[in-house]
Chain A
Amino acid sequence: MSVTSPTVAPVRFVRPSLLRRIGKGTVRFVRSSPLSAFWGVIATSILLMALLAPEIAPYEPLQANFRRMSRPPDGTNWFGTDQIGRDTLSRVIHGSRASLTVAAAAVLLGTTFGALWGLASGYFGGRFDIISQRIIEFLQSFPDLILAMAIAMALGAGTGTVIIAIAVTRIPFGGRIIRSVVLSLKEMSYVEAARSLGASHMRMMVRHILPQCIAPYLILATTHLGVAIIIEAALGFLGVGIPPPTPTWGNMLSDSLNAGLVPPWWLVLFPGLAITITVLAFNLLGDGIRDMLDPRLRGAV
């Protein structure tokens, strides 16, 4: 009697292609929350609008037309024209570029810096952590907009300075949340195992702790986009944003107040509507992403 050992087919883990994984993730996202998916579509169309602004916009955003000054909306200029005859629709479309680039760059920059800082201070602890916590507390003692205003004023007007000003206000959030995630991860047994195997600090942080921080990082970044867009608009409105003639939603609203004693309604309505719809879309998309990636973080970020 020969005993034949059962043959086990070798199990091979085949990682699906990136495209496939993204596709599956999207399907899961749409199924789990159709409403967020709807706002995701709107957010995507706003992104496309920003990318294709020169193709979509009916007129040049900087082209003055002195025959059609301060006209209310009609068939030629759907959103009306401003006091020197520039087309409001084209300016709103082009304004999305400034708004989205600044918000995205600022949130990425600020959250990334904050997250790395939080990772280091949570991992190393000790005096470095205490000092970091104090500095973050100082940063948080300023209301966001006021700190951003002070920095933008100190550095002078420009796209880069607005990005930096908003990014600095995002650092504390990244720092605090990633630090608390790292503190709880540090106690996990798999991290302890890696440590007992003699892994270096760098390896521990990059290979074992960082991957677990990606979900909270993504959630932070998406939920803060909306706030960043509003701060950018407020800075533009207060005259410390991207300076004219580059159209931004904030400086368009500011211009409308300078247009005369009574600002024409179409110059006020449309840029503000653009801000509101964009922020709404990104907020709801962010909520959906958060619920999918990590429902426990509901309310924490």
Chain B
Amino acid sequence: MYSYILRRLAFGAITIVGVSILVFVVLRILPGDPLVAIFGADGFTKLSEAERAGYMKALGLSDPLWLQYFNWVKDIARGDMGRSFFRSESVAEMIMRRGPLTAEIALISVVLSWVVGIPVAIISALRPNSIGDNLSRFISILFLAIPGFWLGMLIMLGLLFWFGYRAPLAGVSFFVDPWSNLQIVLGPGIVLGLGQAAYIARMARSSLLEVIREDYVRTARAKGLSGRLVIIFHALPNALLPVITLSGILLGFVLAGSIPVERAFGTPGLGFAMFTAVNERDVFVMQNLVFLYACVFVVLNIMVDVIIAWLDPRIRYQ
């Protein structure tokens, strides 16, 4: 088990180095001139030659590329991740302030996806092809097609229209004011959670139907246990393994999905910061946030792999 974790961590470290290089290539090398990216094509033409050189030097952009990359890694290692071009706050401070909201949203959505998805899957698998099964399958296919940010906008409009309610705009920590904090994160959490629940229900249903055909389940049934008990206590635990893996992959979907959803709700989280950074063409903030999201995604997937290996010895000894 320990050797498995170590191996997984080593691969994860390589991946993170690779990811950082990829981010650097995409955001710092591809755009051609970073000043055009920052000021826009119009603003760039208005700058004098000396101003351009000055900005390039101030931003550390006249250094050779390998040195720029090295400086960025140093910024990350120091923990402040450099500064936004437009704000006084360092990127690290922004992450500390806004990150918790997005993390809460992710947590709520994952919990909700299991709470909704698994029971739906059990109901489907108990009587495959019944009305209930077909209905739940149709609803999950429908939710795969609904863009989360649109659902978010509809919910927000509906609340405003019928109840005259609007979530508070300023971000508050859960520990300071739990109620207004929850009002901010519940909406995005629910929207993203329902989106994931559709995937979870689909996967859990097909995996349950597969496990039900195995010999040990037939044995349990032959002993005289009722169908419901067999599914919940014998089939479900084994059927959940692929669902856990999927849930890890879906976390990436939540991280990415939270960007448009936070914009739809106006949630002051990290996703909204990403939206702002993209629209202000703030390459430095974007670079750090993209790297952060990718790292979180990699680490979460390592955790999922370790959990799976812990639950299923066959994987550990491969």
Closest to B150 in A: A272
Closest to A168 in B: B26
B116 at interface, CB cutoff 8 A = no
| Residue contact A155 to B149, C-beta cutoff 8 Å | no
A154 at interface, CB cutoff 8 A = yes
Contact flags A86-114 to B (C-beta < 8 A → 1, else 0): 00000000000000000000000000000
Contact flags B249-291 to A (C-beta < 8 A → 1, else 0): 0001101110110011000000000110011010100100010
A226 at interface, CB cutoff 8 A = yes
Answer whether A150 and B160 are a contact pair too, CB < 8 Å, given A239-B278, A240-B278. no
9-residue interface stretch from A21-29, A58-66, A183-191, A229-237: A229-237
| Residue contact B145 to A237, C-beta cutoff 8 Å | no
User: B260 to chain A: which residues have CB within 8 Å?
Assistant: 145, 234, 237-238
| Residue contact A238 to B263, C-beta cutoff 8 Å | yes
| Residue contact B147 to A138, C-beta cutoff 8 Å | no
Q: Would you call the interface of chain A mostly helix, strand, loop, or mixed? A: helix
A290 to chain B, nearest CB (A): 14
| Residue contact B147 to A239, C-beta cutoff 8 Å | no
How far apart sit A276 and B153, CA to CA, in the bound complex (Å)?
14
| Residue contact B278 to A143, C-beta cutoff 8 Å | no
Answer whether A155 and B275 are a contact pair too, CB < 8 Å, given A142-B293, A144-B256, A237-B263. no
Answer whether A239 and B275 are a contact pair too, CB < 8 Å, given A150-B290, A234-B149, A280-B145. yes
A284 at interface, CB cutoff 8 A = yes
User: B281 to chain A: which residues have CB within 8 Å?
Assistant: 153
| Residue contact A275 to B286, C-beta cutoff 8 Å | no
| Residue contact A143 to B297, C-beta cutoff 8 Å | yes
Q: Name the one of A138, A139, A146, A265 contacting B259, with C-beta atoms under 8 angstroms.
A: A146
| Residue contact A154 to B278, C-beta cutoff 8 Å | no
How far apart sit A49 and B115, CA to CA, in the bound complex (Å)?
40
| Residue contact A263 to B19, C-beta cutoff 8 Å | no
Q: Name A's B-contacting residues (CB within 8 A).
A: 134-135, 137-139, 141-147, 149-151, 153-156, 226, 230, 233-234, 237-240, 253, 256-257, 262-263, 265, 268-269, 271-272, 275-277, 279-280, 283-284, 298-299
B22 at interface, CB cutoff 8 A = yes
| Residue contact A268 to B259, C-beta cutoff 8 Å | no
Additional A-B contact list (17), CB under 8 Å, known A237-B264, A268-B157, A299-B206? A134-B18, A142-B290, A142-B294, A144-B252, A149-B274, A153-B286, A156-B37, A234-B260, A237-B149, A238-B279, A239-B278, A262-B160, A265-B161, A269-B154, A271-B150, A276-B147, A299-B203
Answer whether A263 and B31 are a contact pair too, CB < 8 Å, given A138-B19, A141-B15, A142-B297. no
Q: Name the one of B31, B141, B259 contacting A238, with C-beta atoms under 8 angstroms.
A: B259
Answer whether A154 and B31 are a contact pair too, CB < 8 Å, given A238-B275, A272-B150. yes
User: B19 to chain A: which residues have CB within 8 Å?
Assistant: 138, 141-142
User: A256 to chain B: which residues have CB within 8 Å?
Assistant: 153
| Residue contact B145 to A276, C-beta cutoff 8 Å | yes
User: A149 to chain B: which residues have CB within 8 Å?
Assistant: 259, 274, 278, 290
Closest to A145 in B: B256
B144 at interface, CB cutoff 8 A = yes
Closest to B25 in A: A154
| Residue contact A146 to B293, C-beta cutoff 8 Å | yes
| Residue contact A141 to B298, C-beta cutoff 8 Å | yes
B225 at interface, CB cutoff 8 A = no
Answer whether A146 and B153 are a contact pair too, CB < 8 Å, given A238-B263, A280-B142, A280-B145. no
B271 to chain A, nearest CB (A): 10
